[in-house]
Amino acid sequence: MPGIYDFQVQDIDGKPASLADYKGKVLLVVNTASQCGYTPQYAGLQALYATYRDRGFEVLGFPCDQFGHQEPGSNHQVKAFCETKFAVRFPMFAKIEVNGSNAAPLFKHLKAGAPGLLGTQAIKWNFTKFLVDRGGKVVSRHGSTEKPETLVKRIERLLG
């Protein structure tokens, strides 16, 4: 089974990106959406990124339109929205699917590494967050209702 650093993705501009670029960092990988009740979490994600990035922390945002058609825009529109509405500076990637037969391999890996309640793997909604340690191990999964700021202690522990 591949490790998290083996995955290739596309950035929000459609360019190839390798998760190997994040080797040795603590990661918070999130499926996002621009028209969701949880969209204000972008502010909390950006705050975490601004606070901890110099210590080796990265937030990786993956827009997804699988839940209530809440990310209908193009990658360009998503990028513009995130930058203008929430001043997002953390890496954003191309729209993906997180569930079903077309689920991105990265999210299949994350779900297997940190299953949800009762061992279910399906992601239930936008803004599900996966915390990954410096060694690339998926250490926890956090649902949409869990605000980014509730992860501070976990992030600080992983940063050492």
Active site residues: 36
Rounded distance between C-alpha atoms, residue 119 and residue 68, angstroms: 24
Output DSSP code: residue 5: G
Beta bridge partners of 17: 9
Q: Is 63 exposed, middle or buried (0-12, 13-18, 19+ CB in 10 A)?
A: buried
